[in-house]
A and B are shown apart, each in its own frame.
Chain A
């Protein structure tokens, strides 16, 4: 995508299969995308379309019943070929994660300070006063007031929003090159969400950390992403710069997602317009468009031929036989 130089993260043809009691599940189906240094990329899609699995696959975090193929190039080398211990050294130091559940993602019997110190010690052999100083600095960075005092507190003494900030502080402890944030605001109150998004936004500006933001909230995407990768049933179905995507969605699914955003300016009752139907759980990759069953534009081609991710009418890649033509601004309802 980006001209000049190798991107920070390049995922090529990533495929993840799970062996389950109900048979095989194809969770990610040949996904390819890139994240450049200092860029914020949003990975969006409905529940179950493979976003979290993609994120976990990057550093080998999937359970043993998963089979992963494809390539994950990070800073020039293929993580898929790295040993377990090499991946462990990358996790938390080069690629750090923040998960959805701030209420349960912190160890309840260790103070916030101890948990940050642990990461610092693990990856940077930092201890004692320097580690403490760094921890205070980190809590300050993520906007936790009275950081020195918070360090001595236990997770249950912090609110959900403060815990998520602490999680972000832990993730940033070793100034990773890439922060993977998997629905970091979903479990939080709307009022608290904005604060967390602020932190994510300023952090990439201040620390130069690239962010892969996983979400199904397009409001969040519009707020902080530079680029958007849309997934559906394990496949990447559209990819564009954020303004481009919002202005000229090419895939009917993307359009459906955009229409589902509660936008008071657009729909006076503020209700969501859901896309009818659900994301299918596939056992194998069909030679068809996986969205065809839910798509009003689908025809016989869509059901028997696999669309490729190719530049659409708006110029950015779309995986659709009948992509939408760009609409003139203001024409959409």
Chain B
């Protein structure tokens, strides 16, 4: 699960070819399907309040442990709560934690990676940090941190962000190492640019593609991570329905209501699969070997 994806080394991709790249992603059927699923899930999660047929915490003792039916598409749990409504809200929690932890990781990791790649003196220090973090499998690290910080949505996000940090730092660092040797950076130096300008205007904007690809890989990792943390009681706590929480609380009822675990499980698999397919397509589309055609 801690697989670091082999990144292509996109030389440099101009914004217009970035748009062209998106068109190429859409021409790849798997990636296009992935994107469609992600967009649908995002929309459903965002509109959960409107789409959910029932409030996610509405208890109905007259309809407990109902299998999927027309009234309750995804069935109900032991308290008679509508599972479709809970999955929709759960997806929202998953997306929020997944995206926020990656954003947090980017906010911290990109500057660190830029500095490590740009300043030879800082590199050993920052690389030591990444190596230390990498010594723990992503989840072990996140679980440990969440256990120390105490369970909550925020700590789950922070713990996952820390776990993802090495992936982000590594890409930002290697992109910086590559870009600092480029002619246009040398030309900017000869024009009097200082280090901050080089990093902000010349190196970072050209590293965006690689970071984008890595981020699309990191989001599904974080989503699975959140589910596992919540499953272990270290993330989101009931009654907030996260997909992990739902699977965890469905465990003792597996015999009487298997759909309670299976449906959120399938939701996680479909979502992460879709994100990965889209990420792969994006990576291929931004590959300079493809761009040359």
**Is chain B a partner of chain A in the same complex?**
yes
- CB pair A109–B197 under 8 Å, yes or no, is no
Partner of A156, one of B17, B187, B205: B17
User: Of A7-15, A86-94, A258-266, which binds chain B?
Assistant: A86-94
Known: A92-B191, A96-B191, A106-B187. A118 touches B14 (CB 8 A): no
Interface residue? B7 (CB, 8 A): no
B16 partner residues in chain A, CB cutoff 8 A: 154, 156-157
**B136: interface (CB < 8 Å):** no
Q: Are B183 and A93 touching (Cβ within 8 A)? A: no
- Shortest CB-to-CB span from B70 to chain A, Å, is 53
Q: Is A67 positioned at the interface, with any CB of B under 8 Å from its CB?
A: no
Interface of B is mostly: helix
Decide yes or no: A88 and B17 within 8 Å by CB, A99-B183, A106-B187 being known contacts: no
Note all chain B residues with C-beta closer than 8 A to A171: 191
Nearest-CB distance from B11 to chain A (Å)? 9
Residue B22 is within 8 A (CB to CB) of chain A in the complex: no
Indicate if A97 sits at the interface (CB-CB under 8 A).
yes
B192 and A90: CB pair below 8 A?
Answer: yes
* CB–CB B15/A99 < 8 A: no
Q: Indicate whether A154 sits within 8 Å of B15 (C-beta atoms), given known contacts A104-B184, A110-B205.
A: yes
Q: State whether B12 touches A108 (Cβ < 8 A).
A: yes
Of the candidates B183, B192, B202, which one forms a contact with A101 in the assembled complex, judged by CB atoms under 8 Å apart? B183
B62 sits at the interface (CB 8 A): no
Tell yes or no: A61 within 8 A of B by CB.
yes
A-side contacts of B187, CB under 8 Å: 97, 99, 105-106, 167
Interface check A107, CB cutoff 8 A: yes
**Smallest beta-carbon distance B178→chain A, Å:** 13
Do B190 and A119 touch (CB < 8 A)? no
Within the complex, the shortest CB–CB distance from B196 to chain A, in Å, comes to 11
Q: Judge whether A119 and B184 touch: CB under 8 Å.
A: no
Taking the complex as formed, is A123 at the interface, i.e. its CB lies under 8 A from any CB of chain B?
yes
Q: How far is the CA of A92 from the CA of B201 in the complex (A)?
A: 17
Q: Contact between B206 and A170 (Cβ–Cβ < 8 Å)?
A: no
A109/B190 in contact, CB under 8 A? no
| Other A-B pairs, 20, CB within 8 Å; known A107-B184, A109-B208, A154-B16 | A59-B190, A85-B194, A88-B194, A91-B189, A91-B191, A92-B190, A93-B192, A99-B186, A99-B187, A105-B184, A107-B202, A109-B15, A110-B201, A118-B201, A119-B191, A122-B191, A123-B192, A154-B15, A155-B14, A170-B191
Q: List 6 A-B contacts (CB under 8 A).
A: A61-B186, A85-B194, A88-B193, A91-B191, A119-B192, A170-B191
